[in-house]
Amino acid sequence: MNFETFVFYLNFAAPLLIGALIFLLRGSLKLSAALSILSVSMAIFSTYKIWQKISEEGLKYLQPNKLFYIDGFSILMQFMIEFVTIFVIFFSLKEISKLYNHRKNQSHTYFSILMLSLGFMNLAFSFDSLFFFYIALELSSISAVYLISFNLDKNSLRAGFIYLLMVNVGILFSLLGIVLINYNTATEVTISNISQSITFLNKNIALLCASLFIIGFFTKAGLMPFHLWLPQAYAEAPTAITVFLAGAVTKIGFYGLGRTVTVFAFNMEEVKILVLLMSSLSVFLGAFLAFNQKDIKKLIAYCSISEMGFIASALILNSYAGKFGGVFHLFNHTLMKGALFFSAGALIYLHGSRKIEEIKAFKPKASAIMISFFIGALAVGGMPPFSSFLSSLTIIFALVEEKFIGLAFILALSGFISLLALLRSVISIFWLKEDNLAANTNVSLPKILIICALFFALTLIALGIYPEFLHSLFHKATLAIININH
Amino acid sequence: MDIIYIIFLFFTFVAGESRNLKFASYSLIPQGLLIVLSLMIVGYVNNLSHFYVIAAVDLLVRVFLMPAALIILLRVRLQKEEKPAIIHPLSIALSIVLLSVGYKFIDTIKIMNFPNILSFFTAGATAFIYGMFLFLSKRDMVKMIISFFIIENGIHLILLSMLPKVGKAVEFGLTINFIVAVIFFIYITLRYNLLSVMEFINKIKKES
């Protein structure tokens, strides 16, 4: 094995092997976290090297052997989940020490499973065969269950159970879709040959397959009407894991959509219309339901469903602008949810409650958290100068260009409703205060929690002012989706 | 072979409709055995040796591991099913509707020229559709797991009908997924049941 191949395998092998090592060592919280950071750093290094090779040699994709297929879209997804995981590890260190102290002796299992989940996700982004993609996807989903139920109280266990059952059953539909294409085309369906494969399908069978993929990947992404697992899982999981779910685990559903459903939509208008209808449902109802939430994490979760509808409706469009907007918004979604959930996590750390009414009862003493929450809320509304403004605008223009003016209006309106729902909470938590409220002086906020929230918020501004910084990555990812459609 | 699939579906319905959870769990054993038996027969008739290996794995997972896991779960809870979201007579009526739709779907598949695999496919598709219905209508955690097993068995049969074209690595990969999912199901449900029992004991202590 030469150095290049070794570096390629490092991408998923490092998190998987070090994940297993963490479990076997049964070390302290700090040791487990240090090893986790080491493995994610190795994965980032590997992804960077693959990106360097693809961009320097002007390759459309990299195929080290028959099993794997890496292109711009895979690399974008890998970078995204790896960076999210780094911050998740830092946040977890403090969160477990304080809020989950009763589970501190199991921190090695926590970090081990986090690494295994990351490894399986990286593996899923690397496979060419849809069957193997499915296997890696399911393993990453299943392992996330332990993390959701980490608190081991009744609510978190129930949330984990619903997640496990819904996601497992949901993605079985996508397996059925893969099986049907496979049988009808008599060849193993892969990412590189899916566009040719579906041309051999009878139209009804093709529509059936597309519907099965839509059910499977919509469930995984947490889009309506298959979203039932999402608000509960986001709310009951430790905040660091909520960020991991929002920024990494659900993204694999969009990867599946980008690899399969977009190909069907390119060939069949009906599939495009179906996805647009379903995603507009997510966009509108997500924003609408966010309004009534009393739990800060559930509030952000419903806004997240709305935002994800944005992404799905953009990815499914046939134009470059639509797909570029979708890819850009996919990245921005991770940043927005990072800023919002980490801020919410810091508030929960301070006040020990997720209930907005209970958080409101204390004097705020975390101005940095207020800033990051406020930035996250404005970014969800697609306000300038945040990067989500650019991606939202691109998506709306792309929709108008393809004559979906009504949907563009729903998207803009829903963004505004989400913004109002979030701003209402920000204002009531941080500004509308009576003078006689007690300050929660017993707890001080660790700097690392503030850094995590601020990093995501500031990146939203930086990318909004200077989007060229990541343009080539988004461009390559967009071209990768378009390439497999043809 | 058809008689095997009829018996398979009979046990599927028994597992789905029985209110006694222990009995429902035991009904999964003959269901698994019939999958193993059909695999052995197809392997023998078509001279496909790797079918025997898959049959051995299925024997271990679907006949022993899966039902045993459910029995473990039932140790710390009542064996009677929690009231479902959709009650029994309606459940049966809806099953018939769903199966009719499924049958219609099979007709479409027939036109698409699925030659000698139809029995595998029909049984698998029926189990899948029925399992989906159970999944949507049940509220009991154990019954929901049983519905997941039925769906998985259905998918397994559909996949087996296409196995010569798919490759055995895929089949083994999917079985590993299934085992991992079962382990997590047991872990979560067991913890949940234990907490419920503890809560119940504490409540009684407080009252007395």
Query: B85: which 2 tokens?
Result: 């979201």
Inter-chain contact A154–B135, Cβ cutoff 8 Å? Answer: no
Higher pLDDT: B18 or A266? It is A266
Distance of alpha carbon B105 from alpha carbon B128, whole angstroms:
13
Q: Is A368 an interface residue toward B (CB < 8 Å)?
A: no
- How far, in Å, are A437, B69, B105, B110 from residue A234 at the CA level? 30, 28, 37, 44
Inter-chain contact B144–A165, Cβ cutoff 8 Å? Answer: yes
Inter-chain contact B166–A135, Cβ cutoff 8 Å? Answer: no
**Nearest-CA residue of chain B relative to A176?**
B155
**Nearest-CA residue of chain B relative to A140?**
B177
The minimal CB distance from A169 to the residues B151, B180, B184 is found for: B151
pLDDT of residue A355: 83
pLDDT of residue B186: 81
In the predicted model, what is the mean pLDDT of residues A45-49?
91
Inter-chain contact B191–A202, Cβ cutoff 8 Å? Answer: no
Chain A partners of B165 at a C-beta cutoff of 8 Å?
Answer: 182-183, 186, 188
**Nearest-CA residue of chain B relative to A154?**
B192
Number of domain units in chain B: 1
A3-17 b/e (C-beta count within 10 Å ≥ 16 → b): eeeebbebbbbbbbb
What's the pLDDT band for B100 if we cut at 50, 70, 90?
Answer: low
Range with lowest mean pLDDT among A421-435, B72-86, B107-121: B107-121
Q: Looking at the predicted structure, is the pLDDT value of residue A172 above 70?
A: yes
pLDDT of residue B197: 79
Interface test with A, best of B192, B194, B195, B198 (most A CBs within 10 A): B192
Inter-chain contact A169–B159, Cβ cutoff 8 Å? Answer: no
Q: Looking at the predicted structure, is the pLDDT value of residue B178 above 60?
A: yes
**DSSP label of A467:** G
pLDDT of residue B81: 64
Is residue A253 within 8 Å of A162, Cβ to Cβ?
A: no
Across chain A, how many H-helices and E-strands are there? 21, 4
Interface of B with A (CB under 8 A): 108, 112, 114, 128, 132, 135, 141, 144-145, 148, 151-152, 155, 158-159, 161-162, 165-167, 170, 173-174, 176-177, 180-181, 184-185, 187-189, 191-192, 195-196, 199
What's the pLDDT band for A455 if we cut at 50, 70, 90?
Answer: very high
Domain-wise residue ranges, chain A? 278-486
Distance of alpha carbon A433 from alpha carbon A426, whole angstroms:
12
pLDDT of residue B44: 81
Chain A partners of B149 at a C-beta cutoff of 8 Å?
Answer: none
- The size of the A-B interface in CB pairs under 8 A is 89
Chain B partners of A204 at a C-beta cutoff of 8 Å?
Answer: 108
In the predicted model, what is the mean pLDDT of residues A143-166?
87
**Nearest-CA residue of chain A relative to B175?**
A135
Chain A partners of B135 at a C-beta cutoff of 8 Å?
Answer: 165, 169
Return the number of other C-beta atoms located less than 10 Å from residue A86's C-beta.
17
Distance of alpha carbon A140 from alpha carbon A81, whole angstroms:
12
The minimal CB distance from B188 to the residues A135, A161, A169 is found for: A161
Query: A27: which 2 tokens?
Result: 């070390």
Query: A9: which 2 tokens?
Result: 């395998």
Alpha carbons within 13 angstroms on the beta-carbon side of residue A427 total 7
β A438-439/A362-363 pair status: parallel
What are the beta bridge partners of residue A190?
A: A129
Q: Looking at the predicted structure, is the pLDDT value of residue A431 above 90?
A: no
Over its C-alpha atoms, chain B yields an Rg (Å, rounded) of 18
pLDDT of residue A44: 93
Q: Is the peptide bond between A15 and the residue preceding it cis, with omega within 30 degrees of 0?
A: no
Interface test with B, best of A116, A123, A161, A175 (most B CBs within 10 A): A161
Q: Helix (H, G, I), strand (E, B), or coil: what is residue B57?
A: helix
Chain A partners of B196 at a C-beta cutoff of 8 Å?
Answer: 154
Q: Helix (H, G, I), strand (E, B), or coil: what is residue A97?
A: helix
In tens, the pLDDT along B105-164 reads 555 555 555 445 456 777 777 788 788 877 777 777 788 888 888 888 888 887 777 656
The residue type found at B110 is: K
Range of the domain at B120: 2-207
Is residue A328 within 8 Å of A390, Cβ to Cβ?
A: yes
Q: Which of residues 192-221 of A touch B (CB under 8 A)?
A: 202, 204-205
pLDDT of residue A351: 81
The minimal CB distance from B180 to the residues A142, A154, A205 is found for: A142
pLDDT of residue A111: 92
Q: Is A66 an interface residue toward B (CB < 8 Å)?
A: no
Inter-chain contact B151–A179, Cβ cutoff 8 Å? Answer: no
